[in-house]
Amino acid sequence: TEQTEVLFFPDEGLQCPRLNSRRGCLDPKCRSKHTPQSLARLEEILKSATKSCDVCMFVIASQQLIDILVELHLRGVHVRCIADNQDMDGVLHALRSNGILVKFDKSDYLMHHKFVVIDSKIVLTGSYNFSRGGMGINRENIVKVSYPHIVDAYVNEFNEMWRIYGKT
């Protein structure tokens, strides 16, 4: 998991949940994809968090990815989210009703980042938002980097915004 890695979207389809099971998929009628898909890999990386997950994302709207953040929060991972002032209500409801900390950039410029820092050790960054469109059909990329000097720079950027942005 220390390797630099890249994910491209869109996927061909949904990855079969049995793909990585011990016996694999035995259903000859299964219509899911039996090759690795980027969304499944993104979810796997997010779920690997054990201590913290800092999400700094222009748009956070995908229920499927929000569910993962809630799952992390429920098992004790410290989840913090920063978003732009787009779609604030939806994000506020979905995340805050589950007890997850959220801050918004309410300035007139855009908080246009799309990055996640996991356990202060891994950065995911690229064009991909946690949006509905990002999920399915857009051409997008995410690069995963774990070099300490790079990760530290993103941690500092996140913490600076966390300090600046009020609680709404």
- Neighbour-count burial for 88-107, b at 16+ CB within 10 Å, e otherwise: eeebeebbeeeebebbbbee
Question: Which of 51, 93, 106, 112 is labelled catalytic?
Answer: 112
Least Å distance, CB 23 to Zn ion, is 11
Tokens 């709404």 belong to 168
- Which residues, at least 6 apart from 33, have a Cβ–Cβ distance to it below 8 Å? 11, 12, 13, 14, 15, 16, 19
119 assigned to active site:
yes
CB-nearer residue toward Zn ion: 14 or 137: 14
Q: Please tell me whether residue 13 binds Zn ion under the rule CB under 5 A.
A: no
Q: Are the C-beta atoms of residues 146 and 122 closer than 8 Å to each other?
A: yes
The residues of the shown chain that bind its own copies, judged by CB under 8 A, are 4-6, 8, 10, 58, 105, 109-115, 123, 125-128, 133-134, 137-141, 143, 145, 147, 149-150, 153-154, 157, 161
Contacts with Zn ion by CB under 5 A lie at 16, 25, 30, 32
Active site residue ranges: 112, 114, 119
